[in-house]
Amino acid sequence: MEKVNSLLENESKVKSWIIIISILIPVVVAILLFMPSKINVGAEWVYFLPHLNAVINSAASIALIVALIFVKQKKYAYHGATMSVAMALGAIFLVSYVIYHGSAESTSFGGEGWIRPVYYFLLITHIVFAAVALFPILFAYYYGYTDQRAKHRKVVKFAYPIWLYVSVTGVIVYLMISPYYIQ
């Protein structure tokens, strides 16, 4: 309870950090994706990370769905715990994603025909929503954690569907491009 009170007392600082993080992370990811040369981590293990990321995204998707079930059943403690699991999985995913894209070349999609525009539609919408997702997700989590339910509900109307879409389409995009990864 002390942590919650401390967060509430410093709410303006917390909100400032949420805004900074929500801007900084997409900028860093964009830089890593488009930098001319990758960082040499001296190992081939990074090529396993997309597979790990798909597992993490799958688990996060399941956690998000289970959390929705818990909140519909008014099991708020379970809902909060499950959302904390989803947040932790998101953080682990982000670290893994940054390591991979900072050290490995991007993989081109090799599919042809009708599947190509489907893939690029999913990829582009996934990227756009992922770039803006952190802002409402962090605010929703903060409001939920500090038991500011009215604010939480307002933000969750945007945060939850965006997060679930990004998580699920991340797995779908992975499944579609995985045959083309360098092994």
* Rounded Cα–Cα distance for residues 62 and 85 (Å): 10
What's the average model confidence in pLDDT over 100-115? 87
With 0-12 / 13-18 / 19 or more C-beta atoms within 10 angstroms meaning exposed / middle / buried, residue 94 is: middle
Alpha-carbon torsion 149, 155, 159, 160, what sign? positive
Mean pLDDT of the residues in the chain? 90
d(CA 19, CA 158): 16
Reduce the DSSP state of residue 128 to 3 states and report it.
helix
Q: What distance lies between CA 120 and its chain's CA centroid?
A: 19
Q: In the chain, what are the domain boundaries? A: 11-29+42-180
The pTM of this model reads 0.88
- In contact, 99 and 129? CB cutoff 8 Å: no
Q: How far apart are the C-alpha atoms of 98 and 8, rounded to whole Å?
A: 31
Q: Is the pLDDT of residue 36 over 60?
A: yes
Q: What is the structure's pLDDT at 11?
A: 86
Residue 117, C-beta contacts closer than 8 angstroms, at least 6 positions apart? none
CATH number of 11-29+42-180: 1.20.120
| Per-residue pLDDT at 104 | 82
b/e burial code for range 148-181 (CB count within 10 A of at least 16 → b): beeebeebbebbbebbbbbbbbbbbbbebbeeee
Q: What's the pLDDT score for residue 158?
A: 94
Q: Which tens digit of pLDDT belongs to each residue from 47-84?
A: 889 999 999 999 999 999 999 999 999 999 999 999 99
